[in-house]
């Protein structure tokens, strides 16, 4: 659901690309391997082209990793078929293309074009699950009971054919009208069951709107959007598959998990103390996730509370293991063991984690090239996660600065999302290496000695989020004056008016 959008003039993102050291093209040998693979016939695997799969992604996407089909099981419950692009079929171990994907780690998205993990020949062509074309896939079949509990998991290499490329806006419109296409007609029902199960086990989802920069004719538009219900339901199918993959790897004592510590009790207690002043109801016995699920992020006080809750989600990591199980295998946000396996076109780790699952499920040895990669993946993924996050954040900050550079001195209405806390920094829970949270210019830690008080504010129009100086009332609307907007350094600063 789009909340707000504002047109920005023409912007050059080239400096940001150079600053992050993003590659401009693929080495000739890697490109040649991709083209040869794209032209080669599909492998002889199970034919599942009769399953009427569909993809569901943003409208402009062409790197389509997943396709699904949902059905009721005879006797009750559901069958989820989830096809994931079989990238390992196209990337030869030890080849030039594999080497280049390790250098990149993941696709980096920028408004003026992505920097793909794989050449477009594959990522938006022969490996993408585009409609009306046979593709190599790993097909997960997950059976659920009537309450959404997993009762059976199978996976196999297969040839599949998507019937349609659906997008979130169109699907949400169809859902609102009660006219969802048959392959995903059950998505609202299954998604709601999975969300409810997650909340019962303690899962935490932060419903923060995202800032995006999108092309608009000769310029750009800065968009603030929150996830619609169908987007959230779709995410549950990916989470379901990731949890199934983690269970397979833990049972086989080898794999790669996405882990995160559970929120610390003292951090939850501090968040509970913040609820009252912000007008957030937190009944006894209700979990953090359940409280957040009932909030409207478009309301300033709720948005401020959600922003405070982001402090709980610290320490996400990739954890590789082989023989000895991880001491803490769970992901605190999912409240279960979880692995990334559903986006191999865009994320390097998924290719190897999927290969582990296939081998374990089929009762064979994990290939040497996969086993050898596991201990190296956490460092590569952590490093490239930082690059991808910096690109996303940098593009938004640049668009904000360009949009506002001629409006210095103007006054705007803003909601206060975060304030510098006066408590000692030692009281703030941090994991080693953690920086500020997503799009958080300062975080809600202690104010630095000698630093003017301030915090983070979110403007209504244009949809800008930036640092603001002055005494700020958390969760309230206040007038703020634009002090500076610097496109070169991508900095915007306000002060309370």
Output the 3-class SS for 64-101.
Answer: CCEEEEEEECCCCCEEEEEEEECHHHCCCCCCHHHHHH
Which residue, 248, 279, 312, sits at the end of a domain? 312
Both 279 and 139 in a single domain? no
- pLDDT at residue number 449: 59
437: in domain:
no
Omega cis (within 30) before 261: no
417: in domain:
yes
Both 288 and 321 in a single domain? no
Are 251 and 243 a contacting pair, CB within 8 Å? no
201: in domain:
yes
Both 330 and 253 in a single domain? yes
Which residue, 366, 399, 432, sits at the end of a domain? 399
Both 293 and 391 in a single domain? no
433: in domain:
no
Distance (Å, whole) CA 118 – CA 41: 19
Which residue, 246, 279, 312, sits at the end of a domain? 312
Both 157 and 78 in a single domain? yes
CA–chain centroid gap for 473, Å, is 31
Distance (Å, whole) CA 305 – CA 325: 36
Indicate the helix (H) or strand (E) that contains 402. helix 377-404
| Predicted confidence pLDDT, tens digits, the chain (497 residues) | 445 555 666 788 999 999 999 999 999 999 999 999 999 999 999 999 999 999 999 999 999 999 999 999 998 999 999 999 999 999 999 999 999 999 999 999 999 999 999 999 999 999 999 999 999 999 999 999 999 999 999 999 999 999 999 999 999 999 999 999 999 999 999 999 999 999 999 999 988 778 888 888 878 888 887 778 999 999 999 999 999 999 999 999 999 999 999 998 999 998 998 898 899 999 998 999 999 999 988 788 888 899 889 989 989 999 999 999 999 999 999 999 999 999 999 999 999 999 999 999 999 999 999 999 999 999 999 999 999 999 999 999 999 999 999 999 999 999 999 999 764 433 333 333 333 333 333 344 445 556 789 999 999 888 899 999 999 999 999 999 999 999 999 999 999 99
Are 468 and 376 a contacting pair, CB within 8 Å? no
Domain that holds residue 284: 264-312
Q: Retrieve residue 404's tokens.
A: 């506002």
Q: Retrieve residue 30's tokens.
A: 């890697």
pTM: 0.90
| E strand map for 146-248 | 150-167, 210-216, 219-225
354: in domain:
yes
Are 259 and 329 a contacting pair, CB within 8 Å? yes
Both 67 and 166 in a single domain? yes
CA-based nearest residue to 190, from 298, 304, 71, 38: 71
- pLDDT at residue number 433: 35
- Using alpha carbons, list the distances in angstroms from residue 151 to 143, 147, 202, 205: 6, 11, 21, 25
């Amino acid at each position: 659901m789009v909340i707000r959008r504002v047109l920005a003039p023409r912007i050059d993102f080239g400096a940001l690309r150079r600053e992050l050291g993003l590659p401009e093209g693929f080495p000739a040998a890697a490109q040649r391997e991709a083209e040869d693979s794209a032209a080669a016939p599909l492998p002889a695997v199970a034919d599942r082209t009769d399953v009427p799969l569909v993809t569901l992604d943003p409208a402009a996407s062409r790197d389509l990793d997943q396709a699904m089909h949902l059905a009721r099981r005879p006797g009750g419950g559901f069958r989820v078929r989830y096809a994931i692009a079989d990238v390992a079929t196209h990337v030869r171990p030890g080849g030039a293309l594999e080497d280049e994907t390790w250098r990149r780690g993941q696709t980096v998205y920028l408004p003026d074009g992505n920097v793909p993990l794989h050449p477009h020949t594959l990522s938006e062509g022969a490996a993408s699950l585009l409609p009306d074309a046979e593709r190599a896939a790993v097909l997960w079949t997950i059976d659920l009971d009537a309450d959404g509990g997993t009762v059976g998991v199978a996976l196999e290499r297969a040839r599949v054919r998507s019937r349609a490329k659906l997008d979130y806006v169109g699907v949400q419109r169809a859902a609102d009208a009660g006219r969802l296409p048959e392959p995903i007609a059950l998505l609202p029902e299954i998604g709601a069951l999975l969300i409810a199960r997650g909340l019962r086990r303690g899962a935490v989802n932060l419903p923060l709107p995202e800032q995006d920069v999108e092309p608009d004719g000769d310029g750009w538009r800065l968009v603030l959007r929150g996830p619609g219900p169908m987007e959230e339901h779709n995410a549950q199918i990916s989470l379901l598959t990731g949890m199934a993959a983690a269970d397979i790897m833990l049972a086989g004592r080898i794999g790669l998990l996405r882990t995160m510590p559970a929120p610390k009790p003292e951090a939850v207690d501090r968040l509970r103390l913040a609820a009252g002043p912000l007008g957030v109801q937190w009944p006894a016995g209700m979990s953090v996730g359940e409280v957040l699920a009932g909030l409207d992020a478009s309301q300033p006080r709720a948005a401020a509370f959600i922003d405070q809750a982001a402090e709980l989600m610290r320490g996400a990591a990739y954890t590789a293991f082989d023989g000895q199980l991880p001491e803490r295998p769970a992901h605190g946000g999912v409240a279960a063991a979880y692995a990334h396996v559903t986006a191999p076109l865009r994320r390097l780790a998924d290719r190897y984690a999927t290969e582990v699952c296939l081998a374990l499920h089929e009762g064979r040895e994990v290939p040497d090239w996969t086993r050898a990669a596991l201990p190296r993946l956490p460092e590569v993924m952590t490093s490239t996660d930082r690059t991808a996050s910096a690109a996303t954040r940098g593009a938004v900050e640049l668009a904000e600065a360009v949009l506002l550079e001629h409006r210095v001195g103007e006054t705007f209405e803003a909601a206060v999302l975060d304030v510098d806390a006066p408590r000692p920094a030692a009281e703030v829970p941090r994991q080693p290496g953690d920086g500020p949270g997503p799009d958080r210019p300062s975080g809600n830690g202690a104010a630095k000695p000698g630093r003017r008080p301030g915090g983070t504010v979110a403007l209504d129009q244009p949809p800008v989020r930036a640092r603001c100086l002055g005494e700020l009332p958390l969760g309230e609307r206040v007038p703020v004056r634009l002090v500076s907007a610097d496109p070169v350094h991508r900095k915007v600063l306000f002060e309370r008016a």
